[in-house]
């Protein structure tokens, strides 16, 4: 049995989908034939969701970087793998061919080896969006070290927690990172994160901004020196060589921390073969990628979108991936459109929050920009509202580019539900149909499948019935946490934490999280995490955090805070609280609104009734539902009256 790897028509999608469900092992084995293996698998899939245990391509041996780089060299060595557009448009663009990428990744691998990094060791990467970040990731993968990339906006405390959880011994960072007009002092944040740390032995520092940094003898070393030394070691007779580590299909490839409904972020673990195959297959099919096209994903590699759809998916497909260091509004709100025009970008993949923010500048920043190279547009990270969808379609795609609305999560590795560009129909604000191999199901609170009685649209909690190759394998160091978070809510199902609608044609529309997780500007933040951070402030007794609709961010953060002591200046106290949250988590978690309250609506058993707080934050002051179970119903009126 053989399937066409790249789906060309709606009929082919239907056929591939049917086969992938009826014979998943044969389907994925056929897709896996398109990759380079040191040894083929013994068994395509073993799984049960009880433990959970999921193994794809067990027994197979490979190295992901041989698939992302080496196998393209003979035919496409001089093709650009990465195009790097710097923060400052005046600075030189860097074009990294597959040959050059190969050399750099071999150098990084050698550098890591020289510093004692071995297969299975955890390497924390805290860098800005420079090509060296991609080299660092792939260098780890080449020697089998497990990378844990931390987004450059996280605080020292967040890094410290992640370093400890992963027991990381190595860090790769930059002196600083450019972000619009700002310089983020990354190395200095790392220094703070390392106070009291007992595991980290080496910090490799890449020079980007030339801001002064401290360098501790015996611990901190310069990337440039190490890379130069490594270069001499890997060059033999004019050829570049660094033997890639042979990995088992199920060896971990990376850890990526993400927020959940509890206070502590989880280290989501993805493994080599399944992750590679799934990101590659979804990249090629969702964007309908054609060889030679220029593909631009605006995400940061600190998030899963950057891992899967800047680095691993595109490079394993031999694509040209454009990497951008800056922000959409610097030096002006035409930055994305300049980049599209300058590099003749064919595929643009961005987030609704970016679209909404750029919409606010009107169409002036688009004037004089030639966007005619664009063929496909994509959206990721949160539900795209119809207004943003139409603006994107009309002003950017000029009504001739399909928009793919891609639903997925850190835990899923790649896209699970999306239309396929130009192949399956789009429907504004609907993610539409599942990818081949993906079996969604909507369930009610008791885990019972919601079945339509007529041709009506149904609603429920979005689960998956069976594993796809990119499914989360474990949460680092705590498998039970993985089970309780994703596989225990409903028996025999993976639970996404999202609610969804399904129409009579089988299209899905994601309605948002049904747990205590917020999605702020496409970034996942747990309410408990923000509450913990607010509660660290000396004057705070208790807090409750909820989301509310925000025009640009999608969701804003609304905090209700009980103070133990009121200072003369409430506004200053608010600023102190914001600063505290920035220090504990990072600026991305700062509440948009802080309301000081006398009490929180609690039941007699002490449970906060968040439903009421959510409604008040949303401005829905009537119909708060039954408040008779509250210990002190009068606090509700007070909160309502002082609403911000």
The residue ranges that bind ligand PRX (CB under 6 A) are: 258, 304-305, 380-383, 405-410, 431, 496-498, 510, 512-513, 519, 524
Least distance CB 19 / ligand PRX (angstroms): 25
Cβ-contact 532, 524 below 8 angstroms: no
Least distance CB 587 / ligand PRX (angstroms): 17
Determine the 3-state secondary structure of 313 from DSSP.
helix
Alpha-carbon span 130 to 138, nearest angstrom = 13
Residue 298 or 409 having the CB closest to ligand PRX: 409
Least distance CB 92 / ligand PRX (angstroms): 31
C-alpha separations of 357 from 334, 346, 444, 591 in Å: 12, 22, 35, 19
Residue 185 or 440 having the CB closest to ligand PRX: 440
Q: Which residues contact 622 (CB under 8 A, 6 or more apart)?
A: none
Q: Residue 544's closest CA among 616, 488, 467, 496? A: 616
Q: How do beta strands 239-240 and 235-236 pair?
A: antiparallel
Residue 366 or 552 having the CB closest to ligand PRX: 552
Residue 178 or 508 having the CB closest to ligand PRX: 508
Least distance CB 299 / ligand PRX (angstroms): 8
Alpha-carbon span 379 to 300, nearest angstrom = 14
Cβ-contact 601, 616 below 8 angstroms: no
Residue 438 or 639 having the CB closest to ligand PRX: 438
Least distance CB 49 / ligand PRX (angstroms): 18
Residue 200 or 351 having the CB closest to ligand PRX: 351
Residue 77 or 512 having the CB closest to ligand PRX: 512
Residue 385 or 535 having the CB closest to ligand PRX: 385
Alpha-carbon span 38 to 488, nearest angstrom = 36
Cβ-contact 416, 464 below 8 angstroms: yes
Alpha-carbon span 527 to 515, nearest angstrom = 10
Q: Which residues contact 407 (CB under 8 A, 6 or more apart)?
A: 415, 416, 417, 418, 431, 498, 508, 510
Least distance CB 583 / ligand PRX (angstroms): 22
Q: What is the DSSP letter of 92?
A: P
Least distance CB 302 / ligand PRX (angstroms): 11
Q: Residue 493's closest CA among 485, 501, 504? A: 485
Residue that the structure tokens 């980007």 belong to: 208
Least distance CB 14 / ligand PRX (angstroms): 22
Least distance CB 552 / ligand PRX (angstroms): 16
Least distance CB 291 / ligand PRX (angstroms): 26
Helices 527-535 and 570-584, interaxial angle, to 10°? 120
Q: H-helix or E-strand containing 513?
A: strand 508-513
Residue 250 or 382 having the CB closest to ligand PRX: 382
Residue 234 or 443 having the CB closest to ligand PRX: 443
Least distance CB 271 / ligand PRX (angstroms): 18
Residue 170 or 296 having the CB closest to ligand PRX: 296
Q: What is 565-611 written as a DSSP string? A: S--S-HHHHHHHHHHHHHHHTBGGG--SEEEE-S---BBTTS-B-HH
Q: How do beta strands 61-62 and 247-248 pair?
A: antiparallel
């Amino acid at each position: 049995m053989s399937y066409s790897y790249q789906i060309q028509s709606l009929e082919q999608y239907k056929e591939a989908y049917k086969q992938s469900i009826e014979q998943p092992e044969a389907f994925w084995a056929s897709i896996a034939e398109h990759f380079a293996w040191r040894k083929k698998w013994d068994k395509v899939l073993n799984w049960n969701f009880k433990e959970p245990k999921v193994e794809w391509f067990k027994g197979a041996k490979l190295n992901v970087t041989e698939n992302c780089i080496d196998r393209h060299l003979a035919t496409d060595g001089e093709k650009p793998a990465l195009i790097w557009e710097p923060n400052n448009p005046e600075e030189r663009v860097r074009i990294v061919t597959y040959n050059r990428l190969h050399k750099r990744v071999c150098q990084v691998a050698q550098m890591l080896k020289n510093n004692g990094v071995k297969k299975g060791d955890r390497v924390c990467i805290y860098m800005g969006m420079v090509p060296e970040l991609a080299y660092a990731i792939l260098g780890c993968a080449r020697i089998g070290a497990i990378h844990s990339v931390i987004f450059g906006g996280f605080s020292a405390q967040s890094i410290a927690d992640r370093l400890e959880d992963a027991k990381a011994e190595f860090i790769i960072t930059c002196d600083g990172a450019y972000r619009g007009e700002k310089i983020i002092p990354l190395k200095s944040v790392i220094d703070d994160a390392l106070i009291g740390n007992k595991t980290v032995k080496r910090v490799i520092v890449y020079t980007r901004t030339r801001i002064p940094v401290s360098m501790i003898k015996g611990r901190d070393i310069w990337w440039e020196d190490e890379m130069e030394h490594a270069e001499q070691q890997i060059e033999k007779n004019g050829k570049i060589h660094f033997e890639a580590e042979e990995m088992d299909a199920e060896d971990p490839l990376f850890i990526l921390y993400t927020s959940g409904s509890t206070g502590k972020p989880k280290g989501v673990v993805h493994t080599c073969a399944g992750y590679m195959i799934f990101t590659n297959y979804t990249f090629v099919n969702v964007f309908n990628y054609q060889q030679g096209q220029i593909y631009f994903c605006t995400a940061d590699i600190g998030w899963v979108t950057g891992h899967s759809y800047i680095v691993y998916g595109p490079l394993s497909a031999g694509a040209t991936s454009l990497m951008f260091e800056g922000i959409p509004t610097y030096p002006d709100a035409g930055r994305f459109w300049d980049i599209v025009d300058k590099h003749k970008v064919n595929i643009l993949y961005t987030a609704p929050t970016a679209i909404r923010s750029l919409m606010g500048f009107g169409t002036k920043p688009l004037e004089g920009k030639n966007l005619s190279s664009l063929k496909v547009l994509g959206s990721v990270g949160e539900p795209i509202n119809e207004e943003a969808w139409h603006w994107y379609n009309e002003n950017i795609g000029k009504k001739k580019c399909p928009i793919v609305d891609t639903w997925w999560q850190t835990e899923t590795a790649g896209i699970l539900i999306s239309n396929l560009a130009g192949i399956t129909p789009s429907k504004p604000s609907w993610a539409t149909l599942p990818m081949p191999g993906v079996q969604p199901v909507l369930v009610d609170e008791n885990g019972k499948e919601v079945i339509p009685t007529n041709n009506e649209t149904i609603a429920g909690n979005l689960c998956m019935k069976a594993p796809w190759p990119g499914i989360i394998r474990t949460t680092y160091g705590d498998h039970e946490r993985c089970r309780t978070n994703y596989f225990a809510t409903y028996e025999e199902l993976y639970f996404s934490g999202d609610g969804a609608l399904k129409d009579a044609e089988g299209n899905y529309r994601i309605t948002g999280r049904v747990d205590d997780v917020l999605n702020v500007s496409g970034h996942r933040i747990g309410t408990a995490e923000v509450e913990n951070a607010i509660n660290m402030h000396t004057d705070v007794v208790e807090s409750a955090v909820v989301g509310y609709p925000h025009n640009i961010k999608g969701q804003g953060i609304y905090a209700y805070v009980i103070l133990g002591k009121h200072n003369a200046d409430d506004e200053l106290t608010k600023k102190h609280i914001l600063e505290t949250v920035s220090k504990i988590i990072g600026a991305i978690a700062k509440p948009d609104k802080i309301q000081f309250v006398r009490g929180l609506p609690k039941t007699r058993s002490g449970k906060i009734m968040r439903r009421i707080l959510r409604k008040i934050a949303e401005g829905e002051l009537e119909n708060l539902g039954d408040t008779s179970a509250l210990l002190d119903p009068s606090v509700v009126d007070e909160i309502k009256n002082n609403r911000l």
